[in-house]
Amino acid sequence: MSNTASNSTDSIAWFREASPYIHAHRGKTMVLCLPASMVAPERIDTLVADLILLSHLGLQLVLCFGLRSELDAQLTSSDQSASVVDDRRITTDAALTALLQSAGDVRARLEAQLSQGLPNTPMSGTHLSVCSGNFISAQPYGIHNGVDYLHTGTVRHVNAPTINSLLESGQLVVLPPIGYSPTGDIFNVKTEEIASEAAIALNADKLVYFVDQLPVDEAGTVIRQASSIEMNAAALNTDNKKIVNTLNCSVQSCKRGVARVHLVESNKPDALLKELFTRDGGGTLVTAGLWESIRQAQIQDVGGIIKLIEPMQQNGSLVTRSREQLELDIDSFMVCERDGMIVACAALFIPSDNADGYAQIACVATHEDYQGAGRADKLLLALEKRARTANITRILLLSTRAAHWFIQRGFNEVGVDTLPASQQSLYNAQRNSKVFEKLLK
Residues of this chain that interact with ligand COA (CB under 6 A) are 312, 317-318, 344, 362-366, 371-377, 399, 401-402, 404-405
| Distance in Å, CB of 435 to ligand COA, minimum | 12
Q: How many residues does the chain have?
A: 441
3-state secondary structure of 99: helix
Reduced to 3 states, what is the DSSP secondary structure of residue 306?
A: helix
> Pairing mode, if any, of strands 206-211 and 84-85?
unpaired
Q: How far is the CB of 436 from ligand COA (least distance, A)?
A: 10
Q: Cβ of residue 317: shortest distance to ligand COA, in angstroms? A: 4
Q: Closer CB to ligand COA, residue 174 or residue 344?
A: 344
Min dist. Cβ of residue 391 to ligand COA (A): 23
When the beta carbons of 57 and 319 are compared against ligand COA, the nearer one is 319
Q: Is the dihedral of CA 21, 49, 158, 240 positive or negative?
A: positive
Own/partner long-range contacts of 389-394 (Cβ < 8 Å, ≥24 apart): 390/350, 390/354, 390/359, 391/354, 391/357, 392/350, 392/354, 392/357, 392/358, 392/359, 392/440, 393/357, 393/358, 393/439, 393/440, 394/356, 394/357, 394/358, 394/359, 394/437, 394/438, 394/439, 394/440
The CB-of-418 to ligand COA minimum distance in angstroms stands at 17
Q: Three-state SS for 47?
A: helix
Q: d(Cα 407, Cα 80) in Å, to the nearest integer?
A: 76
- Of 114 and 343, nearer to ligand COA (C-beta) is 343
If the CB atoms of residues 61 and 364 are measured against ligand COA, the closer one turns out to be 364
Rounded least distance, CB 387 to ligand COA, Å: 15
Which residue, 220 or 372, has its beta carbon nearer to ligand COA?
372
Report how far apart, in Å, the C-alpha atoms of 208 and of each of 27, 33, 247, 268, 370 are: 16, 6, 12, 14, 32
Residue 216 or 350 with smaller CB distance to ligand COA: 350
Q: What is the smallest separation between the CB atom of 170 and ligand COA, expressed in angstroms?
A: 45
HSE, side-chain direction, 13 A CA sphere, residue 256: 16
Q: Which is nearer to ligand COA, 161 or 374 (CB)?
A: 374
Q: How far apart are CA 134 and CA 184, in angstroms?
A: 11
